[in-house]
Amino acid sequence: MWDYRVIVHEKMFYIHEVYYNDKGDITAISENPMYPCGESLDELKGDMGYFLRAFDRPVLKKEEIRFVPMDRTGNNISCGNTKGAEKTHTRKRR
| Residues 40, 46 contacting (CB under 8 angstroms) | no
pLDDT tens sequence across 4-57: 999 999 999 999 999 999 999 999 999 999 999 999 999 999 999 999 999 999
In angstroms and rounded to an integer, the radius of gyration of the C-alpha atoms of the chain is 14
The yes-or-no verdict on residue 78 having pLDDT over 70 is: no
pTM of the full structure:
0.73
Kindly list the domain boundaries of the chain, sorted by start residue.
2-89
**Maximal C-alpha separation, the chain:** 40
For 48: left if phi > 0, alpha if psi spans -120 to 50, otherwise beta; the answer is alpha
Mean pLDDT in residue range 85-90: 42
Closest CA to 32 of 7, 56, 52: 7
pLDDT tens sequence across 50-77: 999 999 999 999 999 999 988 765 554 4
Contacts of 52 (CB under 8 A, 6+ apart): none
CA distance 34 to 13: 12
